[in-house]
Amino acid sequence: MLASQRRSRILEEIRRSGAVRVSTLVERLGVSDMTVRRDLEVLAQQGQLQKVHGGAVLPGARSTEEPGFAAKSSRENAEKLAIASEAVRFVEPGMAVGVSAGTTTWTFASLLRETPDITVVTNSVQVADVFSRRPRTDQTVVLTGGIRTPSEALVGPFAVSAIRSVNLDIMFMGVHGMDVHSGFTTPNLMEAETDRAFVAASRRFVVLADHTKYGVLGISTIADIDAADVLITDSGLAEEHQRALRERVGDLVVVDAAAQDTAGGDSGSEAGA
């Protein structure tokens, strides 16, 4: 394979998954570690990717970059709805349910509000708003205080104090990135601390993350991969990444976004707006 062909393959991998590891490229391209690193250096000099420890990501993907809620809400809507539809199956009446901030958990909230007799604890202004639009007498929604982030999360000591005072049956968390080495990550240091409090307060920890989150690294780790009792993702995640995750998480659930998108339905129309 010519160098130009290898580099085209490398760019295809990064554009598909958002990030790629040197070890993965060595296996896929059948070349040495040194050859891959030289290719990455050339592509980085051309501005087509950004080198990170152990691999590369799309250019401009900084570990502290935090896109706003509106920007993220227009991405991977079919995948988010498929993930949310699977996640809601884990909730039963009578449960105390934690829901973190994020656009995937926001989509999940639009389905969760149909479940009776639950208490929802969230640090997300947007998630709380989903329930307030059509309030139910058999649901209680607790919104933590805290400092508001670009992703509409409430974080910091006030949020952490509130979360530490509750016991949750199950926690549903959206993440900025996931990686078998770095775990589940966020670009916001205070949000990481708040999310860690959620994990500690929960009997069961469920992560909702579409395939584009794999290989993305935020500056702070929320939890190791094997801390997740359940990880729900979509079939856009490469098979080798699915295998790597399946060896670490308690239960990896892979949903088919295309099937969900074809099925349609009213439940996802608001969340995908």
Domains of the chain: 3-57 (1.10.10.10), 69-255 (3.40.50.1360)
For residues 263-269, give the mean pLDDT: 44
Q: In what order do the strands lie in the sheet with 55-57?
A: 19-21, 55-57, 50-52
Task: For residue 192, give both structure tokens.
Answer: 């990481």
* pLDDT higher than 60, residue 8: yes
With tokens 């339905």, the residue in question is 265
More confident residue, 68 or 126: 126
Model confidence at 192, in pLDDT bands (50, 70, 90)? very high
pLDDT at 139: 97
HSE-CB of 87 using CA atoms within 13 angstroms: 37
Task: For residue 116, give both structure tokens.
Answer: 């009776």
Per-residue pLDDT tens digits for 52-66:
767 887 765 555 555
Q: 91 with 120: CB under 8 angstroms?
A: no
For helices 125-133 and 103-112, what crossing angle results, to 10°? 20
Question: What stretches of 100-201 adopt beta strand conformation (E)?
Answer: 118-122, 139-143, 147-148, 154-155, 170-174, 177-179, 183-186
pTM above 0.75, yes or no: no
* pLDDT higher than 50, residue 273: no
**Sign of the dihedral through C-alpha 163, 147, 108, 177:** negative
pLDDT at 15: 72
